[in-house]
Amino acid sequence: MTRDDRLPRDAQSILELAARSMFELFANASEGMMLVDRDARVVWINDQYRRFLPALGFEREEDFVGHPVSRVVQNTQMHQVLATGKPILIDLLTNRAGTFVVSRIPLRDGAGEVIGVLGIVLFDHPETTLQPLISKFARLEQDLSEARRELASQRRTKYTFASFVGSSAAALEVKRQARRAAQSASPVLLLGETGTGKELLAHAIHAASPRAGRPFVSVNMAAVPDTLLEAEFFGVAPGAYTGADKKGRDGKFKLADGGTLFLDELGDMPMSVQVKLLRALQEGEIEPLGSNRLLRFDVRVVAATSRDLQQMVAEGSFREDLYYRLNVLPIRVPPLRERRDDIALLIEALCEDIAARGGGAQLELTTDAQALLAAQSWRGNIRELRNVLEQLALRSDSHHITAAQVGAVLREAGLPALAPAQTAAPLRAAAGAESEGAQLRPLPEQIAELEQRAIALALAHTGGNRTAAAKLLGISRASLYDRLTSSGGLSEIHTIA
Ligand SMILES: Nc1ncnc2c1ncn2[C@@H]1O[C@H](COP(=O)(O)OP(=O)(O)O)[C@@H](O)[C@H]1O
Ligand SMILES: [Mg+2]
């Protein structure tokens, strides 16, 4: 108790009396008191405190008093009060003797120097005395851990290599490359048109990598406004902004620490962010916005893009140094039209998934209907195929799907409109959709493919009517029939017309 010289004498003695009464009140009402000196040594305990000694592991008082408090009381915070001079008025202390509600008050000398700390055990067995508070605390903790678990499960990958349907040579090669990439720590660059399964593969690579137990975090450059991307990546330091972000926010690099960071639509990343990303990858450190502290991170980067990055580098819209940094393990994911053999399998898998989610019966497509789908150019690839199947599931009263129904959905989706460009100039890349590589194939294969497309287009146009389709194509009905059966194992033909 420090003396206050501004008070008159009698007030001074009242104050001292008050202090003593308070001390006595605490000494009697509390479950125990202890005193440590400025070296954090226990110098005194009261009678009540003595009964905790066995539970703390001490038979004799001299094994406790006279020893550093941190050695005799686990998890004590007395030294913290010594160091800061600030009281901890209420706290929960848990150690081998149980859980206690405690209070720690610094003692000062006449000059105001901290010379020790008074520790008070306000309650033992807080689970009975503080029941409402404790149960509320337990409930909050439970909510928190549930929320954390939920978040972790969202960050866990949704797909494995088994989810990547396809047994064509092209599909198997992609899976082989991706499996190999999973074992490496280098960046992976997934290149391919939209809807080819790049995101699915990114998940699968993570799930098959040594980082599988850690987070998978994605950032989609096309979905986050340019101005927010930096904060999204690097986070915001507390107090950097006023308002909603006052508390600060972790960036995706931090969230992905120890795991995989998926940079989706990499080609859409603005130049300003490219510079910062490159620096972060080179240094292995990030600097949250508004902070001047560098944080180390450990992430494996998997990037994907449907843009031609090499072309962008040539045009100066993508940094060459960043391109080389990320283009360590490039994997080209082929478009659906380069692996038409997989379409039947994909239809099956997608219909199964759609039925499982929608709760309806699984669609069954006639062979004609499948042929019609197989012949499409599928610019939107598997995503587009899935949309068409979803439309069919929604619109059809029965789960049995005919070519006519497929033709109608394709027409409404504006899909056949893509085909004339191909029939008019079939061997020219359709609006850049087909690469040169796709054309450097045996001519009979290309001709067969062209035939298939023309037939599919005609069938779509006539709503599956073969007689009319044959007429449109200038061939006999029998010839059309022949071509349908000879193409890719159509064993069963449903006659529509
Ligand atoms: N090989 C595949 N097998 C099964 N589903 C696939 C396959 N590839 C893609 N999908 C599905 O197609 C949709 C688009 O795939 P996604 O990975 O998002 O493509 P991208 O990232 O290349 O645009 C998703 O619903 C995905 O599950
Ligand atoms: Mg994508």
pLDDT band at 245 (very low <50, low <70, confident <90, very high): low
Q: 300 and 220: one domain?
A: yes
pLDDT of amino acid 488: 39
Q: 205 and 281: one domain?
A: yes
Residue 198 CB less than 6 A away from ligand 1? yes
Give domain status of residue 91, yes or no: yes
pLDDT of amino acid 231: 92
Domain that holds residue 118: 9-124
- Closest Cα to atom 27, ligand 1: which residue? 200
Direct distance between the N- and C-terminal alpha carbons of the chain, in angstroms, rounded to an integer: 104
Q: What's the total number of domains in the chain?
A: 3
pLDDT of amino acid 203: 96
Q: 319 and 461: one domain?
A: no
pLDDT of amino acid 155: 63
Q: 262 and 362: one domain?
A: no
Mean pLDDT of all residues in 35-51? 94
pLDDT of amino acid 416: 59
Give domain status of residue 248, yes or no: yes
Give domain status of residue 4, yes or no: no
Q: 380 and 435: one domain?
A: yes
pLDDT of amino acid 29: 86
pLDDT of amino acid 127: 65
Domain stops at, among 319, 334, 349: 334
Q: 299 and 439: one domain?
A: no
pLDDT of amino acid 8: 76
Q: 168 and 66: one domain?
A: no
- CA–CA distance, 73 with 69 (Å, rounded to integer): 6
Ligand 1 midpoint to CA 88 (Å): 56
Q: 181 and 304: one domain?
A: yes
Residue 126 CB less than 6 A away from ligand 1? no
Residue 105 CB less than 6 A away from ligand 1? no
pTM for the structure as a whole: 0.59
Read off the pLDDT of residues 64-82 as tens digits, 9 standing for 90 and up. 999 999 999 988 999 999 9
Residue 390 CB less than 6 A away from ligand 1? no
Q: Is pLDDT above 80 for 424? A: no
Q: 388 and 401: one domain?
A: yes
Q: Is pLDDT above 60 for 223? A: yes
- CA–CA distance, 394 with 363 (Å, rounded to integer): 10
Give domain status of residue 147, yes or no: no
Read off the pLDDT of residues 166-195 as tens digits, 9 standing for 90 and up. 999 999 999 999 999 999 999 999 999 999
pLDDT of amino acid 496: 33
The DSSP 8-state label assigned to residue 264 in this structure reads: E
Residue 235 CB less than 6 A away from ligand 1? no
Mean pLDDT of all residues in 8-17? 84
Q: Is pLDDT above 60 for 319? A: yes
Per-residue CA distances from 384 to 116, 205, 260, 365, 379 (Å): 73, 23, 28, 17, 8
pLDDT band at 435 (very low <50, low <70, confident <90, very high): very low
CATH number at residue 462: 1.10.8.60
Whether 32 and 46 have beta carbons less than 8 Å apart is answered as yes
Q: Ligand 1, residues 164, 382, 385, 388: which to mutate, most atoms within 8 A of Cβ?
A: 382
Mean pLDDT of all residues in 255-277? 96
Residue 195 CB less than 6 A away from ligand 1? yes
Q: 104 and 191: one domain?
A: no
Q: Is pLDDT above 90 for 402? A: yes
Ligand 1 nearest atom to the CA of residue 190, by list position:
22
Q: 170 and 301: one domain?
A: yes
Q: 225 and 282: one domain?
A: yes
Give domain status of residue 218, yes or no: yes
pLDDT of amino acid 154: 67
